Amino acid sequence: MVVAEEKDELKGKLKEIFGYGNFRGNQEVVIKNILSGRNTFVIMPTGAGKSLCYQLPAMVSEGLAIVISPLIALMKNQVDQLNAYGIDARFLNSTLSKGEITRIRKDSVSGKIKLLYVAPESLIKEENIEFLQKVKIAFVAIDEAHCISEWGHDFRPEYRKIKSMIAQLGDMNVIALTATATPKVQLDIQKNLQMEEADVFISSFNRKNLYYEVRPKKETKKQLIRFLKDHKGKSGIIYCLSRKKVEEIAQLLNVNGFKAAPYHAGLDPDVRMKNQDDFLNEEVDIICATIAFGMGIDKPDVRFVVHYDVPKSLEGYYQETGRAGRDGLEGLCLMFYSHNDLNKLEKFNKDKSVQERENARILLQEMEFYAESPVCRRKQLLHYFGEEYQGKNCGMCDNCTNPRERFEGSEFVKIALEAVKQTNERFGLAHLVNVIRGTEDEYVKSYGHFDLKIYGKGDTEDADFWKSVIRQALIYQYLEKDIDNIGVLKLSPKGLAFLKKPHEIELARDHDFTTDIDEEESSERTPVNSKSYDEKLFEMLKALRKKMAKEKDLPPYVIFQDPSLEEMATTYPTSKEEMASVNGVGMGKVNKFGKEFLELIQKYVDDNDIETAAEVVVKSSVNKSKIKIFIIQQIDRKVDLDEIAESKALSFDELLTEMENIINSGTKLNVDYYIDEVLDEGKQEEIYDYFLNSETDSIESAVAELPNYSEEDVRLMRMKFLSEYAN
């Protein structure tokens, strides 16, 4: 047992090694329990100092502490931190070379290492079990213990074998730790590790500094850019469903002036490690990561976590949002939600076994209820993990700061509770809704539930309404989950009391996301001829262009082409920088022609109370490829165009297209040295005069009007003309 004077010794070690003056929450009692040789089960939310619970005992215990962890990223992160404290910690996983593994084994046997992080896949290997049998082991800590449970959000079959692997290493105490475990998952973990007698320490899941918000997934990129501009320079994580989306969003953010990097399992390990280190060292502000990969990044000043796509479960969501505000300061948790995401996730599960598919479906259902529910989000999250939030309004979620419409719902709750009672507390939400609404499906028939008094009593309301009533009855503790039968609902003592003596209950209307179209969907459904720009402003810009062209004696297209005006009528640029970012413009054109256009747009914006480009523009990724830079450099050096094309394996036509793209994006190209060789002065003048007086810069029209010249001649002269007059 830990004697009284050892308390000061523990505090002294805490200060000496980690620099902290005091323990937080349950840390001290947990550490004492571990040091007393007891099996210990720790449920502590992300950011509450879970890892210290095994790191400090490892430092004051004799022998090597083994930490089983599924996250390679977290292993590296924690080992780096411990090494910085002067602690000899290492990790053993698939990223190491044979030489590195041999050195770790040697240092473990010699007693040099205090903490060894091991991936479960590595622990399975016979050669690792053999060498660990020669090591004096202090204890085994199982981090992310929820991975053991098939009812959890991140089940890993390798975790099921941990108990038998530990048994091969000898009799020692085990510490299981997790940040997310529902009561059902807690029981499953203890049963699987055969540590039912373990001392359990549960910390509150309430992260008071986190603000939770759910928004419909509509114009998501625009919403995201606007959100990030409000938090420019702050550290954040954006979670996406796929690797492709991670890359896309990281690129989008960089183009829009944010320092972002991607992070997913498909990246080269060196790139992934560099991106993680850059994030930790504040070289980049934002990391875009896959939900599936699960980043184990221990960074205290993450100010926001955005879920661009819906997570697979509330456990995953809670754990990922928990990476925000670990220092106790501001932490914003924003999720973009659409039914489409849930459908995609449902499809991912189609190849799983029936039981796994059903478990995954229930987890997704919980996610759907959370997103659409009008109840305080903090209350919902805590309830899910078996903790009740006592306050009525947390003031730190969108449902509390912008409450939904409320109504008196005691009659509806009474019907829901009667349905649970009359079906003998043996069924889940979907079946109860069918009974209440009088929907005669195969289960209602087989159980004879169409004979119940409650059958069809709620047929005037739709299924979503009744789902919401039952969910709210659950959160307000009139119903409770059956811990032994997943998905089954039972009456609570509070519910039984209500049926005997009903009283008024205030319910709220769910959020309605059914009318919101996902941005990916909307882009697919937009008709080809639909105009997304402001047509009134576009016509005003065209009129100004015509007036200016007349004054300067130039064709209108020389000033700005139609696609550029359309983009201006979409993004409303009101500064030189914003206008220069419009495709086909550039700063040269802005300085030459932009002043009156900017003034017109500013007045239009003010008169119509419109959000400007600074708030809503989402720049596309312009291809500033190496080939374009190469072409510009070669032309500056007056290299023959045929030679440039040949050196890059381009046809002459492809080279001219690349050059036209460069000029259309606002960059001048001086190709006089080449044109002078292929066309005499008189011919150049004839084509030049054509473009000067033409209403269009169309090559087809020019070739038709100038039959004595080839298409190449016309294209070259148009480049010369646009470079001199437009750029």
> Can you give the pLDDT at residue 179?
84
Two tokens, residue 229? 């501009």
Mean pLDDT within 247-252: 91
> Can you give the pLDDT at residue 668?
83
Residues whose CB falls within 8 Å of the CB of residue 455, separated by 6 or more in sequence, listed in order: 435, 438, 444, 449
Q: Is the pLDDT of residue 607 over 80?
A: yes
Instruction: With H, G, I as helix, E, B as strand and everything else as coil, classify residue 236.
Output: strand
| Residue whose token pair is 């381009």 | 650
Segment of 158-172, 369-383, 553-567, 695-709 carrying the highest mean pLDDT:
369-383
> Can you give the pLDDT at residue 619?
57
Each residue of 177-215: b (16+ CB within 10 Å) or e? Answer: bbbbbbebbbbbbbebbebeebeebbbebbbebbbbbbb
Confidence band, pLDDT 50/70/90 cuts, at residue 660 = confident
Please give the Cα distance from 331 to 324 (Å, whole number).
5
Mean pLDDT within 253-276: 88
Q: Is the pLDDT of residue 612 over 80?
A: no
Q: Is the pLDDT of residue 438 over 90?
A: yes
CA distances from 50 to 85, 137, 176, 178, 372 (A): 17, 21, 11, 8, 31
| Alpha helix ranges (H) inside 266-353 | 269-280, 314-321, 339-348
Task: Name the residue among 530, 622, 524, 607 with its Cα closest to residue 572.
Answer: 607
Mean pLDDT within 486-496: 93
Task: Name the residue among 472, 492, 497 with its Cα closest to residue 481.
Answer: 492
Please give the Cα distance from 401 to 466 (Å, whole number).
25
> Can you give the pLDDT at residue 345?
85
User: Cβ(114)–Cβ(88) under 8 Å?
Assistant: yes
Instruction: With H, G, I as helix, E, B as strand and everything else as coil, classify residue 677.
Output: helix
Confidence band, pLDDT 50/70/90 cuts, at residue 596 = very high
Two tokens, residue 227? 């959100």
Confidence band, pLDDT 50/70/90 cuts, at residue 290 = confident
Q: Domains in the chain and their CATH numbers?
A: 5-202 (3.40.50.300), 210-400 (3.40.50.300), 413-508 (1.10.10.10), 535-616 (1.10.150.80), 626-725 (1.10.10.1390)
Confidence band, pLDDT 50/70/90 cuts, at residue 146 = confident
More confident residue, 532 or 327: 327
More confident residue, 664 or 97: 97
For strand 210-216 and strand 331-337, is the pairing parallel, antiparallel, or unpaired?
Answer: parallel
> Can you give the pLDDT at residue 525?
35
> Can you give the pLDDT at residue 153?
64
> Can you give the pLDDT at residue 292?
47
**Proportion of the chain above pLDDT 90, given as a percent:** 46
Q: Is the pLDDT of residue 2 over 50?
A: no
Segment of 80-89, 218-227, 539-548 carrying the highest mean pLDDT:
539-548
Among 154-163, 416-425, 488-497, 668-677, where is mean pLDDT lowest?
154-163
Q: Is the pLDDT of residue 173 over 60?
A: yes
Radius of gyration of the chain from its Cα atoms, rounded to whole angstroms: 33
**Proportion of the chain above pLDDT 70, given as a percent:** 92
Mean pLDDT within 337-345: 86
Q: Is the pLDDT of residue 178 over 80?
A: yes
User: Cβ(553)–Cβ(530) under 8 Å?
Assistant: no
Q: Is the pLDDT of residue 526 over 50?
A: no
Please give the Cα distance from 486 to 492 (Å, whole number).
16
Q: Is the pLDDT of residue 288 over 60?
A: yes
Q: What is the pTM of this model?
A: 0.67
> Can you give the pLDDT at residue 524?
37
pLDDT of 346-362, one tens digit each?
887 777 788 778 888 88
Confidence band, pLDDT 50/70/90 cuts, at residue 7 = low
Residue 486: how many other CB atoms lie within 10 Å: 15
> Can you give the pLDDT at residue 590?
87
Q: Is the pLDDT of residue 48 over 70?
A: yes
Please give the Cα distance from 332 to 409 (Å, whole number).
32
Among 47-56, 187-196, 345-354, where is mean pLDDT lowest?
345-354
> Can you give the pLDDT at residue 498?
96
pLDDT of 404-429, one tens digit each?
889 999 999 999 999 999 999 999 99
pLDDT of 570-591, one tens digit each?
888 888 888 887 877 877 788 8
> Can you give the pLDDT at residue 556?
87
Q: What is the chain's mean pLDDT, rounded?
A: 87
> Can you give the pLDDT at residue 4?
44
418, 421, 427, 429: CA torsion to nearest 10: 30
pLDDT of 94-137, one tens digit each?
888 899 999 999 999 999 999 999 988 888 888 989 999 999 99
> Can you give the pLDDT at residue 587?
79
Residue 368: how many other CB atoms lie within 10 Å: 18
pLDDT of 459-477, one tens digit each?
999 999 999 999 999 989 9
The distance from CA 73 to its chain's CA centroid, rounded to whole angstroms, is 17
